[in-house]
Structure 1
């Protein structure tokens, strides 16, 4: 087996890494200054400047799949059409800075929403919403999780999408609706029930909801271990008698789970790619810190516990990267559904690995590690939240276990 990256994979990874080194890393302090000054819920001039530079450099919409993989209705989409494997190495680089993915128009939930519109939207939906999303002029939200039910089982979702002539009327409450704090967030893809009496996986549908529609209210912004992620944010959204045109329905009634499988697979491993980047940076910060600090008469690096942690971190990062690339390759070769075991495995492994290494880096920094003076505390909050986002660990472990048991039953020729 040849694990050497191809020239194309290396080229895109190195281009993104060079842009990060020249433009993003030097601007981290300015980013936090801009967030802290004025209205925290307004777009930041820095990010807009860097978006223009990234687009001019051809580093834009890197996640968009090759056009032959989706019907695009003659839609000219703006992106290099990288495979999942090609994008994985580039996404790892952007994961080193929490806000960097937006610079390349590769931030969630826009990435997943753009893929939904690309794969499942009709020509009118693509023209109205995909075009400005790909241009980076608007943001979008994904409204799936609900506070009143265990959303790890999406069949529990209660939000109602009821047909009324040429419209659908939506009633429900959603939360963890990322990007709803951003004034540029103009549209949401919402999952709800169109037919509660149908077979359990045919009850749900997805529909486009412009956020300026009467009856849509962002009640509050939620925090993750105290981080509100301004100006992006994660909102709790109430929908009361929200009327949208029937043409806003995606793909058809009862197709919600089908769309969700197409959306969540890539999104899950995008998170994992970026988590690997966070872990790499945490390890670098750990080594720099223990090399520069003295405790009890000698550099901290001379205490053997750090040898063990550094070695374990390198082993775990490299193993996780290989598993992530395996999942990406399986998706490229066989599709998201066929790769569901690999996707589930990396979704469990990557956040756990990143959280453990970030925790060691925090320990090495002492009080500085939990302060705003390093990115480690925010990294930790993200890595921990990723063990819940896009399905908790237990759901993915259940998927893996069931696939393994099915394989074993088949091998024993059991009924």
Structure 2
């Protein structure tokens, strides 16, 4: 995230604050008066690989955009995906993308909540709570895939956990800009998200650039995004996002990724080797995690099947502990400030059938204490009256 000065004005309308939320900074839209979230992507002057000039016409980056202007290409891609995906209750809205001061800035809605990464700083979630959140993310992903787009940025930083316990998926425009900056074949295809061309020298160079731009984040490196040694590999499609769900599910219920993330080389080696961690750490979600992390993208389940599996898992969840209170997200001070002004976005709660009752347990136990105290007082009064009558 770019170092943003408090009070700085961007695009002549967005005034930055000192409050951060994950990789984003909170700001105020002076035109609408609504709070927004801004996220910055550095716009370095990348030199496009020489061997891309020999790529077939359909695989060359650039399209109708000036091939030498990477900032324009990244901006075009960010706005393209934002417009291609309509409003959805499980997706964070993107309003605008613009370039200023060497950065591409994306402007999204500000919803009261914290990122999943921030939530996990306090410790891992229960497998069933993790399953609920991943179900929400999968629901939002379906809308992205219906628009013909691969998200490519499903991580704990791009997921917002709202006050009501539901999850929103963001990061789509940022992902599109980053992929365009890497300059691989297909990077300028509107709404491509990630390159879909088979492996070539140009795509290998693009992968190396991506390792610098994206970094060692396990959700963003499915095996097909690494390439196969001494092979041609397979295209990158929606199954890469399914892989990301598997990593995210494991991370949410263990607090760590299923592969080492010390550096890109270490992560790439572990993903290619396909050695998975101890299954006991993931509990009841482990069988689904294994399916989602299949090295062959053709064997990974579709999002519909993922949602069904998560719902079945939640139906088998144990009852909440006696006396458990309703789920309540405690926002840090930086997230509470300014949350009274909300964007006029109608966000219905998750479907009742899909949200297990342990997230909002029955409230009858809350009245148990007062009822017991009242009963004791009543019995005491009756005893005093009886003693008084006998004394007469």
Q: Which of the two has higher C-alpha Rg?
A: 2
Q: TM-score of the superposition, structure 1-length normalised?
A: 0.26
Q: Which has the higher helix share?
A: 1
